[in-house]
Amino acid sequence: MNNKHGSAAVLDNCVFLGEEDKNSLYEDGDVVIGGLFPLHYSPVFSHSTYKEKPKTNMYNFSSRALRWMQTMTFTIKEINGRSDLLPHLKLGFHIHDSCDDIPVSLRASLLLVNGQPDKGFRAESFYRDKVLKTNGYNVGCDAVRQTVSSVIIGDAGSGVSMALLRSLGCFHIPLVSYFASCSCLSNQREFPTFMRTMPSDTFQIRALAQLVSYFGWTWVGVIGVESDYAHFAIQLFLQESVHYGVCAAYTHFYPVVVSQQALDDLLNVIQFSSSKVIINFSGESEMQSILREIMRRNMTGLQWIASEAWATAKSLWEKSGDLLMGTVGFAIRRAATIPGLKQHLTSLTASSLHKSAFLAEFWEETFDCRLNGSLNTHSHGSDNFFDRQPCKGTEDLNDVYSPYSDVTQLRVSYNIYKAVYLVAYALQDLSNCKVGKGPFLNGTCADPKNFKPWQLIHYMKHANFSALGEKVNFDQNGDPIAYYDLMNWQRAPDGSLNLVKVGFYDASLPGHSLVINDSVIQWPLGKKAIQSVCSSSCPPGTRVVRRKGEPICCYDCVPCTEGEVSNKTDSLECSHCSADTWSNTARNLCIPRTTEYLSYYEFMGILLCVASVFGACLSLFIITIFISFKDTPLVRANNMELSFLLLAFLAICFLVGLLFIGVPSDWLCRIRYPAFGISFALCISCLLAKTAVVLMAFRSTLPRSNVMKWFGSNQQRASVLLGTAVQVIICFIWLLTSPPHANNNTDYHGATIIKECVPGSEVGFWSVLGYIGILACGCLLMAFLARNLPDNFNEAKFIAFSMLIFFAVWITFIPVYVSTAGKYTVAVHIFAILASAFALLFCIFVPKCYIILLRPERNCKKK
């Protein structure tokens, strides 16, 4: 439309430039609502030489979209028939075919908002003194304004809707979409005049991410048509899926017009991927092309997840039912019924068919015939289109199946129904405005029959109404509260498609918004959902280790280390067991640790107990022998007091071994080490004093020697006490500074708690052993000096041999003690004590007992 300039005579005339569009549906009213529906799809583009006007040919007609269009006309007529809603306004409609194509949609939208006269005459258009000859229809501007639409319901596609908004947004003309779901359209700063009755993809993507996570599909392929809708949806999915541990095995976009090369590229990606679960963001037309190629390649075993754009597109089932069985996808909210719609759809009359090119085309395509005087000019690429047989007039829509008359899945149709009511209720609120209390400047109101588009937007943004029992309201972005039905494509007994609701997603529910009934789902293969993972789940007892440079869903399963467990699948970390528990063999459970200590009830403990008691009894037995034969020369020749004292403390040494058996406690540990150290110090001090007395006794026989006066009984006792006192002081300091104590050792073997005595101070422990070693060295030295004494009284070789055994035992003890742990360390300790004590007992006293008891003839004093 263009206003003439440059001539006052034509200022009141409006001239329409271009060709008249006859393929539209119009009904006049006080307010005319525009409508855009993709009645044709699959555009075929040809390279233009611009020698003639470029044309876009459409191959396919959408009966489903025709139902959408008819739903709009039905809703408007329903509102016009109500007395409680807009009683003083009549709604009209002006509907065009958008062809799901941006250029076609833009042209149609301009026709809606500028108007198109029904008739006129050719005129010359003048513009600034230049004559521009063009074909046009010259009528009064008032006649054109009557057909202007102040609000448009459309379009179905997100990309088309964005293009329309960028063109019409500056004129503040509201656009209400019934099927555009791109989250990008929620940007009110960029698209302030946009509203929709279709939920935003933000919610669908959350639902899809939860869906694939629910079935354990962590490795999915994501494909989509080259469009804003698919680009934004896939981008959102990749962001959202990370929160659910789901990864994309691949993402692939294909053009709207799918060439063979594009199909080959897409199918190669699908065929050679390890993922068998595919999410496709596209419309049904693109999906048809993909399914044909999949069928040609005989690819099976794929699990399709449908976006809402084709989740209920029944037309796909006719030729590809085997490939689509088991498909799951989210569909928008369904109306159980729209009262009167079925009758409206099926009550097509001959007059209506001849008045609308859209209805005529639908009739001819459905019954494969040609109407007399048909307005339809689309041949859909068919050579014999105009050679079809004439329609008989007896055709009946009830005799054939068509998506047009199928009202079992009223989803998009329901959105259109709500979109029309949104406009109606906004107009009702606008009409109810009271002057002085209006929302506009100075409390003014808008004229219901002559309002500005931006004034209507105000009321639309605040609309709140009910439709078929559902409360309808919108958020600050103009989006409705999201609700989806989870649909499963199942084969009915007769082979037809049965769309079964198996769950739902309700964004208004707190917490888990997705509810699924697994038991009613039919899968493509078998009775269970297929597996689609990059890496199999890590079982309990293992943890997930990410593979460097690969998606988070690709990982290795590493067993938990000893002492750590994981009791759930796909654990990221293993948890440590408590101090008194340890991991089992499977590493999935902490079990009580076994307790280890040298017990009286095990063989080694019993053996050491017997040896200790035997040694103590043998010492007492020897004492008894010495007492019984105290008058014999051999016994009298030995220092009886020191011998008895030595034997008594040897008996104690044997009994000390018993203290090392059993469960250790702090007080027992404080007795074990100092009793052990002090008793050995006493024994060796006695032996040292005894040897020194014998040595000095023979030295005193030399002329002028009075050395024996220093080795009397008192001196002998004092030397024993002095030798022992040093050890007592060492032990006392040890007990004061860092005494021995009981300890639960879990470092040596994790599954075992070793109950042991620890020295507390290593310096104290080795000081005790070192002092015993010094005393032993003194004994060895004395024995060396006494080597030439008379044989009958010479104990030097026996003392030397016993000390050599003593040294061998304790030198061997050191590395064994350091390198072992647990009850074996205790056993080594006891063995060293017993071996040392037995060495002294057998080397020094058993030979004397042998002579006393078995060789009495040798028990005499030689001169």
CA distance from start to end of the chain: 156
Task: Please check the confidence at residue 124 and state whether its pLDDT lies above 80.
Answer: no
**Average pLDDT, stretch 640-662?**
70
Q: What percentage of the chain reaches a pLDDT higher than 90?
A: 36
Section 763-772 average pLDDT: 87
342: pLDDT strictly greater than 90: yes
Q: Is the pLDDT of residue 517 over 90?
A: yes
Helix (H) or strand (E) holding 839, with range, is: helix 823-840
Reported confidence tier of residue 121, pLDDT bands at 50, 70, 90: very low
Confidence of residue 471 (pLDDT cuts 50, 70, 90): very high
Structural tokens at position 231: 């680009």
* Average pLDDT value for residue range 100-125: 71
Closest among 212, 412, 223 to 311, alpha carbons compared: 412
Sign for the CA dihedral angle at 131, 133, 138, 140 comes to negative
Instruction: Determine phi and psi for 655, rounding to 5 degrees.
Output: -70, -25
In this structure, of 376-380, 571-575, 751-755, the range with the lowest mean pLDDT score is 376-380
3-state SS string for 708-741 = HHHCCHHHHHHHHHHHHHHHHHHHHHHHHHCCCE
Rounded CA-CA distance 816/828 in Å is 7
The whole-number pLDDT of residue 73 equals: 96
Output 308 or 373, whichever has higher pLDDT. Answer: 308
pLDDT at residue 673 tops 80: no
Lowest mean pLDDT, pick from 321-330, 634-643, 696-705, 745-754: 696-705
What pLDDT sits at residue 50?
A: 76
Q: Spell out the SS3 assignment of 357-374.
A: HHHHHHHHHHHCCECCCC
pLDDT at 272 over 50: yes
Q: Which of 192-196, 480-484, 718-722 has the lowest mean pLDDT?
A: 718-722
Both tokens of 331, joined, read 């569909």
Which among 800, 804, 825, 803 is positioned nearest to 815, based on CA atoms? Answer: 825
639-644 — which CB contacts under 8 Å span 24+ positions? Answer: 639/690, 639/693, 639/694, 639/716, 641/713, 641/716, 641/717, 642/686, 642/689, 642/690, 642/693, 642/716, 642/720, 643/690, 643/845
β strands within 229-309, DSSP E = 247-254, 277-281, 303-306
List Cβ neighbours of 566 (8 Å cut-off, separation of 6 or more): 538, 540, 541, 542, 543, 560, 573, 574, 575, 587, 588
> Is residue 655's pLDDT more than 80?
no
| Structure confidence at residue 641 as a pLDDT band (50, 70, 90) | low
In sequence order, the 6+-apart residues with CB closer than 8 A to the CB of 620 are: 647, 651
Interatomic CA distance for residues 181 and 484, integer angstroms: 13
Q: Write down the pLDDT at residue 8.
A: 36
Does residue 21 have a cis bond before it (omega within 30 degrees)? no
- Residues 818, 828: Cα–Cα separation, whole Å: 11
Q: What is the pLDDT of residue 382?
A: 58
Instruction: Determine which of 128-142, 615-629, 805-819 has the lowest per-residue pLDDT on average.
Output: 128-142
**Which pLDDT does position 135 carry in this prediction?**
46
- Residue 74: what residue type? F
Where in 49-98 does DSSP place strands (E)?
Answer: 57-61, 91-97
User: H or E stretch including 328?
Assistant: strand 328-332
Q: Are 205 and 156 in contact (CB under 8 A)?
A: no
The larger pLDDT score, comparing residue 93 to residue 680, is at 93
Distance CA 389, CA 370 (A): 6
Q: What is the pLDDT of residue 638?
A: 65
345 band by pLDDT with thresholds 50, 70 and 90: very high
What tokens were used for 570?
Answer: 């796909």
Q: What is the spatial distance between Cα 557 and Cα 536, in angstroms, rounded to a whole number?
A: 9
**pLDDT over 70 percentage in the chain:** 85
Asked if 374 and 354 count as a contact pair (C-beta separation under 8 A), the reply is yes
Is it the case that residue 703 has pLDDT exceeding 70? Answer: no
**What burial letters (b/e) apply to 544-562, b meaning 16+ CB within 10 Å?**
beeeeeebebbbebebbee
Residue 783's H or E segment, with its range, is: helix 762-785
Q: What is the pLDDT of residue 429?
A: 94
Region 445-453 average pLDDT: 91
Q: Is the pLDDT of residue 769 over 90?
A: no
- Work out the pLDDT band at 844, boundaries 50, 70, 90: confident
**194, two tokens:** 């946009």
The DSSP secondary structure of 132-185, one letter per residue, reads: E---EEEEEHHHHHTT-EEEEE--SSHHHHHHHHHHHGGGT--EEESS---GGG
DSSP states along 223-244: EEESSHHHHHHHHHHHHHHGGG
- Answer with the residue of higher pLDDT: 704 or 739: 739
Tell me how long the chain is.
863
Amino acid present at 827: A
C-alpha span between 833 and 836 (Å, rounded):
5
- Which pair of structure tokens corresponds to residue 586? 């499977």
Provide the pLDDT for residue 2.
41
The pLDDT assigned to 824 comes to: 80
| 417 in Cβ contact with 338 (< 8 Å) | yes
Please give the average per-residue pLDDT across 117-132, as a whole number: 40
Between 837 and 210, name the one with better pLDDT.
210
- Exposure of 143 by Cβ count < 10 A (0-12 exposed, 13-18 middle, 19+ buried)? middle
Alpha carbon separation from 89 to 58, 85, 195, 304 (Å, rounded):
37, 9, 23, 48
pLDDT at 783 over 70: yes
d(C-alpha 625, C-alpha 276), whole Å: 95
d(CA 136, CA 129): 18
**For residue range 599-640, what is the model confidence (pLDDT) as tens digits?**
778 888 788 888 888 878 888 887 887 787 777 777 766 666
Integer CA distances (angstroms), 225 to 166, 375, 611, in order: 22, 33, 90
Residue 789 has pLDDT above 70, yes or no: no
Interval 315-319 mean pLDDT: 88
Q: Which of 395-399, 446-450, 463-467 shows the lowest per-residue confidence on average (mean pLDDT)?
A: 395-399
Evaluate if residue 7 carries a pLDDT over 60. Answer: no
pLDDT of residue 134: 42
Range list of β-strands (E), 449-570:
465-467, 470-472, 483-491, 497-506, 514-516, 542-546, 555-559, 564-565
pLDDT category of residue 127 using cuts at 50, 70 and 90:
very low
In this structure, how many other beta carbons lie within 10 angstroms of the beta carbon of residue 708? Answer: 14
pLDDT in tens, 213-236: 999 999 999 999 998 889 999 999
Tell whether the model's pLDDT for residue 293 goes beyond 80.
Answer: yes
pTM: 0.67
